Amino acid sequence: MITDVRDTAGMRECRLCGQPVREFFDFGRQPVSDAFRDPADRSAEFHYDLAVGVCGGCAMVQQSHEVPRTRMFHADYPYRSSGSAFMRDHFEAFARRLLETELAVHDPFVVEIGSNDGVMLRTIAGAGVRHLGVEPSGGAADTARACGVRVLTEFFQEDSARRIRAEDGPADVIYSANTVSHIARLDSVFRGVDALLAPDGLFVVEDRYLGDIVDSTAFDQIYDEHFYLFSVESVCTVSRRFGFELVDITRLPVHGGTIRFTIARAGARPVAPVVGELLTAEHARGLADHGTLDRFAVRTRQARADLVGLLRWLRDEGRVVVGYGATAKSATVTNFCGIGPDLVPYICDSTPAKHGKLAPGSGIPVRPPAAFADPYPDYALLFAWNHAEEIMAKEHGFAAAGGRWIRYVPRVHIV
């Protein structure tokens, strides 16, 4: 049983500038992507309409319906940033960079929006630097505290930012990784940054890049948490609206294509040439144009047809296909494609909180990593494709036993 969508907020105008938003794809009814369920739970499962469009005014790609944030981020939110060794190294390296640059001043202060289990701030705390993580998910916040990280368990917005400023003073750096795009109330975030950031401070945002999502047809990057998909143009526009300026860009090889956006108060820092270069490239390719996004939609439908066709053929041939990585984005794939236990009998995942649970919407059981080799399946559908190199190196025994990987980004193919 599922609930209806009366407790979602329909939107046909841009939340940021009020201009019309043109939908270019509708994934249909979707569950909350991290709402893994106990098999004995017979309560109604919440679903909402996952549709995505582009604003004609600010070029911001955004969802048409907002899922209440407390349904997504709460005490039992299962995702942990430190679950991947690659991502741990990434965050630790960035923390060390901050300590050598922006935080190499007298009595620095750094705030992280969406600090999760504190994987970045642990290095900052270890250096004795004043810091604060703002994390609404209680379980993740408790994990960070146990590692010596100072955490405020609530959502970052204008009022919380003003309280932080009153208690701790201005922040030299406000950092956020894979969080700002989750926040539909982005106007409140920027007003909060305005209230908290020092005059010459930096607001650093890492998030998935629309250009890479479109290029690779990574349709599964669109799910409830990813309310916005950022481009350089849209980040420039929203920054200007609140008195800020995009001053630097760094491309990052994480999560299938990420940009580190460095934002400062208008006129406070020089603008790096790369900002204009990438902005020009986006305009030249028509990244936010209707034709470009409509073609992305066509490729997405083709990927669904190809993936379902392949899974049905393998099932009919008597082959066993299991999922690898019960990721949030796998909810989009399984529910959009109609993939259930008949095609993928279970998904292996390393997150203990997901073990023994059912994947949202699809009802596919989630098992611990040990199940993957007991025995090995014929094929593994790689939902965690953004960690493919790390996973394949770890699961060399699967390939040695003759197992093969199924991937659907940038196209459906067998590795």
**Domains of the chain by residue range:** 81-290, 291-414
- Which runs of E-coded beta strand occur in 209-296? 228-229, 244-252, 258-265
What is the DSSP secondary structure assignment for residue 386, as one 8-state letter? G
Which secondary structure element, helix H or strand E, spans residue 110, and what is its range?
strand 109-113
From first to last of its 415 residues, the chain has per-residue pLDDT tens of: 344 443 444 458 998 999 999 999 999 999 999 999 999 999 999 999 999 999 999 999 999 999 999 999 999 899 899 988 899 999 999 999 999 999 999 999 999 999 999 999 999 999 999 999 999 999 999 999 999 999 999 999 999 999 999 999 999 999 999 999 999 999 999 999 999 999 999 999 999 999 999 999 999 999 999 999 999 999 999 999 999 999 999 999 888 899 999 999 999 999 999 999 999 999 999 999 999 999 999 999 999 999 999 999 999 999 999 999 999 999 999 999 999 999 999 999 999 999 999 999 999 999 999 999 999 999 999 999 999 999 999 999 999 999 999 999 999 999 9
Q: Are 84 and 40 in contact (CB under 8 A)?
A: no
DSSP secondary-structure letter at 337?
H
Q: How far is CA 283 from CA 22, 64, 263, in A?
A: 18, 24, 21
Q: What share of the chain is helix, strand, coil (3-state, %, to 5)?
A: 35, 25, 40
How far is Cα 392 from Cα 369, in angstroms, rounded to an integer? 13
Burial of 70 (0-12, 13-18, 19+ CB in 10 A): exposed
Q: What's 81-290's CATH class?
A: alpha beta
Total Cβ atoms within 10 A of residue 157: 17
Judge whether 81-290 and 291-414 match in fold: yes
In terms of Cβ atoms closer than 10 Å to its own Cβ (0-12, 13-18, 19+), residue 404 is: middle
Return the biggest CA–CA distance within the chain: 67
| Residue that is written with structure tokens 């305009």 in the block | 283
| Burial environment of residue 235 by CB neighbours within 10 A (0 to 12, 13 to 18, 19 or more) | buried
Cα 56–175–8 angle (5° rounding)?
45
Other Cβ atoms less than 10 A from the Cβ of 284: the count is 8
Predicted confidence at residue 5, as pLDDT, reads 42
pLDDT at 72: 94
pLDDT for residue 11: 52
Determine the number of helices (DSSP H) and then strands (DSSP E) in the chain.
13, 19
> Could you give the CA distance from residue 80 to residue 197 in angstroms, rounded to a whole number?
27
Domain 291-414, CATH homologous superfamily name and number: NAD(P)-binding Rossmann-like Domain (3.40.50.720)
Residue 327: what residue type?
T
Tell me how far apart the alpha carbons of residues 251 and 254 are, in angstroms, rounded to a whole number: 9
Selection from 392, 234, 390, 409 nearest residue 329 by Cα? 409
What's the whole-model pTM score?
A: 0.94
Give the Cα separation of 163 and 159 in Å (integer): 6
DSSP calls for 117-150: T-TTHHHHHHTT-EEEEE---HHHHHHHHHTT--
